[in-house]
Amino acid sequence: MPSLPPIRPEDEAIAEKLRPEGAFDAPADVHDPVRAGYLLRLGDDALILGQRLGEWCGHAPSVEVDLSLSNLALDLIGQATLLLGAAGDADELAFKRDVLDFRNCLLVEQPNGDFARTMVRQLLFSTFQHMLYGRLSASSDQAVREVAAKAVKEVAYHRELAAEWVIRLGDGTDESRERMLDGLGWCWRFVPELFEVDEELEAAIGCGIAADPRAIEADYRMAIADVLTAATLPVPADQRPILGGRRGHHSEHLGHLLAVMQYLPRTYPDARW
Amino acid sequence: MSDWPLWEVFVRSKGGLAHRHFGSVHAPDAELALRHARDTYTRRQEGVSLWVVKSSDIVASDPAQAGELFEPAADKVYRHPTFYDIPDVVKHI
């Protein structure tokens, strides 16, 4: 069974439009560092979480869940291809950058742990991404606008699926509840970073490319609390936030992920497939 | 998962067509059965609508009774509308 989804004509049209004219091999930040930096944040979030979810392939609790998680991964990697492609050469950016140059948030690089932790991570991130993409359909940048408009439907599904699982596992057996609590404890520290606005993001918000995450934080916390309540799980107390992913200060886990993801194109730079 | 019930999946491939049996999925409940069916059977744009039915809710004919149920129809060729000459001008029949 082929594992890749069909490339639809509309996807090709979007990819074609996003290709920067005559600048295919130029370093991303020659053009507009604020725009490229924001595209890297969005693109790296999608890429890294897509790679993480791909690690479940062949290991999920059932073949149906295996397919669910692979579908999410492929959606995210598709988004990353478009977003990084708008910042420069998507393959170069994905496979030739080192860990300090990645701009993803720390939440998405966290190890899968068990299925419960993976689903908590998905709920916490997809809810954020869904609300953010909703706002980005009004971005001043055409590429951001178009990717957000296309991806918001995909992410709506990710968010719903994750919520379904969090509710079932939280309100399931003693063991599934225990594992949910552990996963929530692991992931909760990385939520504040989603809403952090540094100078770089401030500049992108200023020129209308980016959406201000602080504007969705209250809605986000309410939406998460609703799911946790339905799952009979307590909303965790806020801990000391862990920040730094947007500046390239990553946890040790990202380096291991990149080693696996980048091994082939770095070892065989001329490989074509 | 071995303790999840089995659900039969029916897919309507486009508007106007009937739902057709596509296969089955395991899922802990109806809502997740729909999602599993979506992820397993419609990831290449195969459908516009999904039904799932618990396999145990389907009442099936007994294969041992196939003789009395289906064989009597075998020699009733006159039940097929194949004895009419269709005029050439009639295109769609």
Residues of A in contact with B1 (CB under 8 A): 61-62
Residues in chain A with pLDDT values less than 50: 1, 23-30
Q: What is the pLDDT of residues B37-46, one digit of tens each?
A: 999 999 888 8
* d(C-alpha A44, C-alpha A47), whole Å: 5
A-to-B residue pairs, Cβ atoms closer than 8 angstroms: 33
| pLDDT at res. A10 | 78
Q: Whose structure tokens read 């692979």?
A: A70
Closest in A6, A68, A168 to B39, CB measured: A68
Helix axes B30-41, A142-170, angle to 10 degrees: 140
Testing the interface with B: which of A10, A64, A74 to mutate, by most B Cβ within 10 A? A64
Burial of A173 (C-beta count, 10 Å sphere; 0-12/13-18/19+): exposed
Comparing B5 with B86, the larger pLDDT belongs to B5
Per CB distance under 8 Å, which residues of A are interface residues toward B? Answer: 5-6, 8, 61-65, 67-68, 71, 161, 164, 168
Q: What is the pLDDT of residues A3-62, one digit of tens each?
A: 666 777 777 777 777 665 554 444 444 468 999 999 999 999 999 999 999 999 999 989
| pLDDT at res. A21 | 56
Q: How many CB atoms lie within 10 A of CB A110?
A: 25
Q: What is the pLDDT of residues B19-74, one digit of tens each?
A: 999 999 999 999 999 999 999 999 888 899 999 999 999 999 999 998 889 888 88
Residue type (1 letter), A106: L
Closest in A61, A62, A164 to B31, CB measured: A164
| pLDDT at res. A31 | 65
Q: Is B40 on the interface with A (CB under 8 A)?
A: yes
| pLDDT at res. A207 | 94
Q: How many CB atoms lie within 10 A of CB A165?
A: 26
| DSSP string covering A27-69 | -GGGT-HHHHHHHHHHHHHHHHHHHHHHTTTTTSSSHHHHHHH
Is the CB of B39 less than 8 angstroms away from the CB of A64? Answer: yes
SS3 A103: coil
| pLDDT at res. A3 | 62
Total-model pTM = 0.84
Q: Of chain B residues 4-23, which have a CB less than 8 A from chain A? A: 4
| pLDDT at res. A177 | 98
Q: What is the pLDDT of residues A122-137, one digit of tens each?
A: 999 999 999 999 999 9
